[in-house]
Amino acid sequence: MRKTLLSLAVLAMVATPALGAIGDWWILCPDRMDGDFTVRPGCGYDGTDCYEGSGMDGVRRIWWNTENVKESSGAAMPATLEEFTIEAWGCCCPECGQDWQPIQVQINGYHGPVNWPIDPEIPWAGQFGTNHEWIGSDGYANCEWNPTGPGPQVHPDGAGSAPFVKAGSVLYAKWDFGWPITRCWDCIRITQITPEPASALLLLLGAPVLLRRKRR
């Protein structure tokens, strides 16, 4: 029985591409932009452009898509919800707007939440009275990756620093708040901090073996 379970686990891992593990990262550059932006040439990640939105606008959004990856540590994005830290590139133009602005998450892609107002698929299910995930982001013009947070997310350290994301999720920043925002954006980098699904599969397949040993 034990050999059979281990064989099934090995076959499952071989049959699927290597999925993300703790520490794996993906760089997502803007996938789509709605509304008007000012282009700041050459001050983005790897010499690309940055995009600045200014004022209040109910249409303007900048989007990042987990299916549109510029660079990564090599693994495939997990298909199950995992927790990720998010870093934002600090555009290299001193004139770029640096206002605080949240990054928001739609875990099921561009079509938006499957359930409204609170999506039970998100493990924290409306913590702090929110109906979706977001994490705060300060603006920088330092040509570096900058951490984001906090936000109303669940994380073992209690810092609210890691939204849930999966393959097919999209992230975005928007300008339809009750105050004006001037902010430059380019790429973001997301890093996985919870176990990869392959480990969960091995644990699941090994459970019957552990139960048998306990009974003996």
Classify residue 204: in a domain, yes or no.
no
Expressed in angstroms, the distance from the first to the final Cα of the chain is: 15
Domain count, the chain: 1
d(CA 130, CA 150): 14
Classify residue 15: in a domain, yes or no.
no
| CA-angle at 24, arms to 149 and 31, nearest 5° | 65
Classify residue 99: in a domain, yes or no.
yes
pLDDT value of residue 196: 56
pLDDT value of residue 62: 98
d(CA 13, CA 89): 34
Other beta carbons within 10 Å of 52? 21
pLDDT value of residue 157: 66
Contact 43, 50 (CB under 8 A): yes
d(CA 39, CA 51): 5
Asked whether residue 204 carries a pLDDT value surpassing 50, the answer given is no
- Taking only the tens place, the pLDDT of each residue in 82-138 is 999 999 999 999 999 999 999 999 999 998 766 677 777 888 767 777 778 899 999
**What average pLDDT score do residues 161-185 get?**
96
Classify residue 94: in a domain, yes or no.
yes
Q: φ, ψ for residue 45 (rounded to 5)?
A: -60, 130
pTM of the entire predicted model: 0.83
Pairing, β 50-55 against β 38-40: antiparallel
Q: What percent of the chain stands above pLDDT 90? A: 64
pLDDT value of residue 114: 65
Classify residue 125: in a domain, yes or no.
yes
Asked whether residue 9 carries a pLDDT value surpassing 50, the answer given is no
**What average pLDDT score do residues 57-62 get?**
97
pLDDT value of residue 129: 73
d(CA 113, CA 131): 10
- Structural domain of 29: 22-195
d(CA 215, CA 75): 39
Classify residue 88: in a domain, yes or no.
yes
Classify residue 13: in a domain, yes or no.
no
Asked whether residue 190 carries a pLDDT value surpassing 90, the answer given is yes
Q: φ, ψ for residue 12 (rounded to 5)?
A: -65, -40
Classify residue 2: in a domain, yes or no.
no
More confident residue, 208 or 77: 77
Q: How confident is the model at residue 195 (pLDDT cuts 50, 70, 90)?
A: confident
Asked whether residue 142 carries a pLDDT value surpassing 60, the answer given is yes
CATH code for position 103: 2.60.120
